[in-house]
Amino acid sequence: MMNHQDQSLLRTLHRNSLTLPLPQYKVVNLMRSLGVLSRGDLAQQLGYSRATISGIVKDLIDRSIIRESADAESTGGRPARILDFNAGFAYVIGVDMGATSVDMALADFRGELLLRHREAIDVRQGPEPVLDRVVERMQALIRRAAISGDKIRSIGIGVPGPVDFLNGVLSMPPIMPGWERYPIRTRIQAAFPLATVVVDNDVNVMALGELRSGAGKGVDHFIFVKVGTGIGAGIVVNGEIYRGSNGCAGDIGHIQADRSGPVCHCGNVGCIEAVASGSALARQAMQAAQSGRSPVLAQVLANGTTQLTAEHVGMAAHAGDKVAMELVKTSGTLIGEVLAGVVNFFNPSLILIGGGVANIGTQFLSTIRRGILSRSLPLSTQHLRIDYSPMGEDAGVIGAVALAIEHIFVGKL
């Protein structure tokens, strides 16, 4: 149950959103979840009569929100009319902020990315200069697209840390300490007073991207696990992002993976992030190179690289370096074992692995799989699919666009 304060925050968040009658709102959401549909599909899924659906669809066409076209795949007889979103109804911007880079896209109402921009940033400069730059780049995107600024109905932003979703601020962000409760949404809102502005955790946003237009389409319960500098998960329950009681659900990086592991930056021992993340692999790679245990990694250092990364470990493993192969295997196994606990608790039907470390090769994925299967119950893994995120590095920006589109409308009874 939402309390009064939360309801009021939600109203503030949605003050620029367009109000739709609830049945229309449901049809729009169903089309977002399942893709282009016919009136018959809609009627069946929502349990409305054909006549009711026709009325709702007519209203949505009158509002220019959806449009119809003949189904190219229909054969013979009267072609089924399929429904799709009207691309030009509105435009949105999705922003994927990382600790060291920002990736943004301007998209149409169908979610097609029209223009992209990516550049290096350093969040340690603090929120004001960074967000000033982000706003400037967003305005440049709009100029390049030659559309009027008031056509941007919604802006979605993913940030790397726990987000107080209703307030649009970061809450105790470990890698962005200077951003604690800085009003990110308010700052962006000031530059785009007509748009709805939504801020969410980066991994939630990636999960949303997969849910709306990736491998998570039509999947009720799944998790997106980002293995990068840190480790985190975005959770989808009943086809919606699940944020938990304080907005920090999915913060799996500090689950214990190894009782005899090193001390993590959080102060605890053996967190999965401290033993199996991109930064852990990089640290282990430096040790292996400097001690001479890994000839391939030592060679990379000798060739002038000053800082080894998880990618170097992946390359060395691919080249047959025993120690590098062992590092990949240990990291994947530990992540798998932690995810096994998650599988037993949450019983998802899909786990997608993304983030930078997902680029280091298929051996990493297969050891994660083995780790999960070794410690999960047979019933919970019977239909469990475990894969790399097919969106790869685009999951964040595609998800941010989906987040923006999600909040163009609110439904009202």
Q: How far is the CB of 101 from a copy of itself (least distance, A)?
A: 25
176 binds a copy of itself (CB under 8 A): no
CA 37 to chain centre: 25
29 binds a copy of itself (CB under 8 A): no
Give 109-160 as a DSSP string.
TT--EEEEEEEE--GGG-HHHHHHHHHHHHHHHHHHHT--GGGEEEEEEEES
375 binds a copy of itself (CB under 8 A): yes
120 binds a copy of itself (CB under 8 A): no
Q: How far is the CB of 199 from a copy of itself (least distance, A)?
A: 16
Of 4 and 78, which CB lies nearer to a copy of itself in the complex structure? 4
User: Rounded to whole angstroms, how far apart are CA atoms 411 and 140?
Assistant: 32
Of 94 and 336, which CB lies nearer to a copy of itself in the complex structure? 336
249 binds a copy of itself (CB under 8 A): yes
162 binds a copy of itself (CB under 8 A): yes
Contact between 227 and 247 under an 8 Å Cβ cutoff? The reply is no
Which of 12, 16, 29, 33 contacts a copy of itself by CB under 8 A?
33
Q: How far is the CB of 277 from a copy of itself (least distance, A)?
A: 15
185 binds a copy of itself (CB under 8 A): no
378 binds a copy of itself (CB under 8 A): yes
Instruction: Map residues 190-219 to x or -, x wherever contact with a copy of itself holds by CB under 8 A.
Output: ----------------------------x-
For the chain, the first-to-last Cα distance in angstroms comes to 18
Which element (helix H / strand E) includes 180?
Answer: none
Contact between 407 and 196 under an 8 Å Cβ cutoff? The reply is yes
Residue closest to 189 by CA, chosen among 201, 180, 199, 181: 199
User: Rounded to whole angstroms, how far apart are CA atoms 247 and 250?
Assistant: 9
- Burial class of residue 315 (count of CB atoms within 10 Å of its CB; 0-12, 13-18, 19+): middle
Q: How far is the CB of 403 from a copy of itself (least distance, A)?
A: 19
Which of 70, 140, 172, 263 contacts a copy of itself by CB under 8 A?
172
Q: How far is the CB of 380 from a copy of itself (least distance, A)?
A: 5
Instruction: Map residues 319-338 to x or -, x wherever contact with a copy of itself holds by CB under 8 A.
Output: ------------------xx
Of 217 and 283, which CB lies nearer to a copy of itself in the complex structure? 217
Contacts of residue 210, Cβ cutoff 8 Å, sequence gap at least 6: 216, 217, 222, 224, 352, 389, 391, 395, 399
Q: How many CA atoms lie within 13 A of 115 on its CB side?
A: 16
242 binds a copy of itself (CB under 8 A): yes
Whole-angstrom Cα Rg for the chain: 23
The residue with tokens 């939360």 is: 6
The residue with tokens 């998570």 is: 216
Positions 258 through 277 that interact with a copy of itself (CB under 8 A): 259, 266, 268
Residues that bind a copy of itself (CB under 8 A): 1, 23, 33-34, 45-48, 162, 171-172, 218, 220-221, 233, 235, 237-239, 242-252, 254-256, 259, 266, 268, 337-338, 340-342, 344-349, 374-380, 382-384, 412-413
